[in-house]
Amino acid sequence: MVETTSASAVLGEEDVNITPQIDAFEELVRLAVQKDPSLATLAEQHLRKKVTPSVAVASGAAPVSPFAPAEPAGAPGAATILGPALTTLPHQSKPAWLRQRAPQGEVYAGLKSQLRGLKLATVCEEAQCPNIGECWNGELATATIMLLGDTCTRGCRFCAVNTARTPPPADPDEPVNTATAVASWGVGYVVLTSVDRDDMPDGGAEHFTKTVRTLKHLRPGILVECLTPDFRGDLEAVKMLAGSGLDVFAHNVETVERLQKRVRDPRAGYMQTLDVLRAAKSVGVYTKSSIMLGLGETDDEVIDTMLDLKAVGVDIFTLGQYLQPTPNHLPVTEFVTPEKFEYWRKFGQEEIGFRYVASGPMVRSSYKAGEFFLHSMIESDRAALRRAREEQDEMRRRQAAQA
């Protein structure tokens, strides 16, 4: 599975836990406004509507009601994609900062009702993701779509998703169906992700590409991020997808170099991930990667990973807490404190120079607050490019008039 394992909390009708000590969303909204003051009004709306944080919507699996009961932790299917429920962590007690409040709010309720009309399985609801409220509320609604089914050809030791050497064939109509559904939903930012499909000649890159192109045709203004497999190191496949019109190419390194063989499937690898991110960056898109903390990494190894990712052009970096899906998976070595995550956020931005870092126990690859910042960053960069072109055109007109 390509997305960093995500925490899941049982979300009831009333307050079930406590709010994390550090509010990453408010901090990242502040960063967005600092970069583009014109976002102040939108930021105020986000913060006023804010509840507790991400929604992931999965397609490609067999048609499942988005509101089917959640599967038990560790059971096969979509519920394992985002990781285990915190209440079922094997033989481990949860620190206070890994607890969240139940989602609520009018926008959340309305979007939940709207999803009933889409033939997409809602992974975040089934997995009871703790960040669901934040992604489903606000002006920039966000979706994370899973392509290519729910069965992976790899067996990483941190992930409990279904695995098989030969998963069911990909649905050839999925790119059009998914793009049509998302376009009708009206979200402003969509993340397309998938399991690894080593059984497919290009690892599923063309499937991703068709989905992006169809979606951009239907909704030119939507921002699209692809959180991808490594396509078996096929850099031409990487470049094809990176050039499809997407806005952010994401591929996770997952952990530090020393722990790669222990954590990831042998067919993955640290250098292969760096090669994928370098190839995507060469096409000219924003690139993004993520690691899990709590697997036994040292501070120096985290810094080395940041430096390596920066060296291949990564713009956005996220850090989150690893959680053990079942007793058969890697145990948690450490529950990293919110204060340490905040240290890494500042270090990544101020010392390493990433354009954006999201870091926190509950932060995941497609975290809503990060997408708010990315939206402002992308739009700001595009506006600056338009101004530069206008200035160049004006200069040419003046030179022509003087000639």
Known binding site: residues? 124, 129, 135, 152, 156, 159, 366
Q: From CA 191, how far away is CA 226, in angstroms rounded?
A: 6
Cα–Cα distance measured from residue 239 to residue 276, given in angstroms and rounded to the nearest whole number: 9
CA distance 340 to 383: 35
Q: Which strand (E) or helix (H) includes residue 340?
A: helix 338-346
Count of CB atoms situated within 10 Å of the CB of 52:
25
Are 175 and 210 spatial neighbours (Cβ–Cβ below 8 Å)? yes
List helix spans (H) across 62-137.
Answer: 106-114, 123-126, 132-136
**Residue type for position 150:** D
Q: Which residues are annotated as a binding site for [4Fe-4S] cluster?
A: 124, 129, 135, 152, 156, 159, 366
Q: Which token pair is 74?
A: 């560790």
Burial 64-86 (b: 16+ CB within 10 A, else e): bebeeebeebbeebbbbbbbbbb
Distance CA 274, CA 237 (A): 15
